[in-house]
Amino acid sequence: MLELVISWAVTTTLLFLIVLTDEKRMSEERLEEAWPPATRTLVLVWLGILALPFHFARTRGRLFTTNPRRFVGWWIGLGLGLVASVLVALIDTAVVTAFAWAVGLPIDD
Note whether residue 108 is domain-resident: no
Residues 102-108: what's their mean pLDDT? 81
What pLDDT, on the 0 to 100 scale, is given for residue 40? Answer: 93
Note whether residue 83 is domain-resident: yes
For residues 58 and 108, give the distance between their C-alpha atoms in angstroms, rounded to a whole number: 38
What pLDDT, on the 0 to 100 scale, is given for residue 109? Answer: 57
Asked if 26 and 34 touch (Cβ cutoff 8 Å), the reply is yes
Q: What share of the chain is helix, strand, coil (3-state, %, to 5)?
A: 80, 0, 20
**C-alpha torsion sign, points 91, 92, 95, 97:** negative
Looking at the structure of the chain, the number of domains it has is 1
What pLDDT, on the 0 to 100 scale, is given for residue 66? Answer: 87
Note whether residue 87 is domain-resident: yes
CA-to-CA separations, 72 to 14, 30, 62, 104, in angstroms, rounded:
27, 15, 8, 48
Q: pTM (2 decimals)?
A: 0.85
Note whether residue 9 is domain-resident: yes
Residues 90-104: what's their mean pLDDT? 92
Asked if 5 and 38 touch (Cβ cutoff 8 Å), the reply is no
Note whether residue 18 is domain-resident: yes
Note whether residue 59 is domain-resident: yes
pLDDT one-digit tens code per residue, 45-80: 999 999 999 999 999 988 888 888 889 999 999 999
What pLDDT, on the 0 to 100 scale, is given for residue 32? Answer: 87
Note whether residue 23 is domain-resident: yes
Note whether residue 109 is domain-resident: no
Domain that holds residue 56: 2-103
CA-to-CA separations, 10 to 27, 81, 89, 91, 92, in angstroms, rounded:
28, 18, 10, 8, 6
Q: What is the CA angle 22-49-70, rounded to 5?
A: 50
